[in-house]
Amino acid sequence: MPYYQILHQMNPSAMTFKPNQKRFYSIKTDQLTKAEENIFQDLLCEWTDTPILDLLLENWTNHRDKNFSLMKVKQNISPLRLNLSSLNKYLGDVFKLIDSTSPPIVVLNGTHHDDNSIKQFTSHFFNFNVFSMKGTNMFGGMLIAVHKSIRSQLVAEFDNLCNLIVLEIGSDADMFQLITCYCPPTESIHLDTFNRLLQRNPNSIFTDDFNAKHNS
């Protein structure tokens, strides 16, 4: 069973920023996801390996500035978009790809909307707001995950439509609509819905899976 020892008390007034090493605590980590365990390790290293308090505060400032830059999504957006054939089947590969690339926004189509896989995805990427929707056939389903440092919310007007997720991303002058849509091969493309979306906000990004149209 994995565990970590943490130090009882920090002494920020010491000339060298070292903890009081008289007492230790053991914390079990077997219930953490891999992402949570990595964050926990980073926190421990941050407090035990940083030699002076000023450097620790400087690191925090840099982290804050990085998050602020992410919030300026209109200039800096770099989403990861994947067209899957079952999130459940490729869940491990999706985790590895997102963990290694750290995109601020993830768009998945063809998830097959497996509730258990959606829950696992949401638990693993707990620092993301996750929005999902069912499709009108077994091959549909979609998901958008937006890092919590970026303002995001569902557009209520389109919230009850299958095969469609519409989000408002950012705020004020940087706000735009992020839209993902699944259109089954046997259904026509709902151009009237797209027109309504563009009338609502011309500053929109569409990430769709339209499929070739056929009756087979």
Q: What is the mean pLDDT of the chain?
A: 80
Q: Tell me: pLDDT of 8 over 60.
A: no
pTM passes above 0.85 = no
User: What pLDDT sits at residue 209?
Assistant: 75
Helix axes 34-49, 91-101, angle to 10 degrees: 30
Q: Tell me: pLDDT of 6 over 50.
A: no
Q: Which residue has the tokens 């707990």?
A: 126
Q: Sorting pLDDT into bands at 50, 70 and 90, what band is 122?
A: very high
Residues 6+ apart with CB under 8 A from 69: 76
Partners of residue 25 on adjacent β-strands: 6
**Sheet with 204-209, edge to edge strand ranges:** 152-154, 164-169, 176-182, 204-209
Q: What is the pLDDT of residues 162-180, one digit of tens each?
A: 889 999 998 777 789 999 9
* Over residues 203-215, mean pLDDT: 76
Q: Are 150 and 167 in contact (CB under 8 A)?
A: no
What is the 3-state secondary structure of 58-77?
HHHHHHHHHHHHHHCHHHHC
Burial (Cβ within 10 Å: 0-12, 13-18, ≥19) of residue 62 = exposed
Percent of the chain with pLDDT strictly greater than 90? 33
| DSSP 8-state assignment for residue 149 | T
**Sheet with 142-147, edge to edge strand ranges:** 80-83, 105-109, 142-147, 128-133
Given CA atoms 85, 86, 89, 90 in this order, what sign does their dihedral have? positive
Closest CA to 151 of 59, 68, 71, 61: 71
Q: Sorting pLDDT into bands at 50, 70 and 90, what band is 146?
A: very high
Q: Which residue has the tokens 């097959």?
A: 112
Q: Which residue has the tokens 């830059």?
A: 69
Closest CA to 105 of 84, 82, 85: 82
Domains of the chain: 3-71 (no CATH), 76-209 (3.60.10.10)
Q: Tell me: pLDDT of 35 over 50.
A: yes
* Over residues 138-156, mean pLDDT: 91
- Calculate the alpha carbon distances from 185 to 135, 139, 153, 192, 215 in Å: 12, 10, 29, 18, 7
Q: Tell me: pLDDT of 3 over 70.
A: no
Residues 6+ apart with CB under 8 A from 174: 71, 72, 73, 74, 75
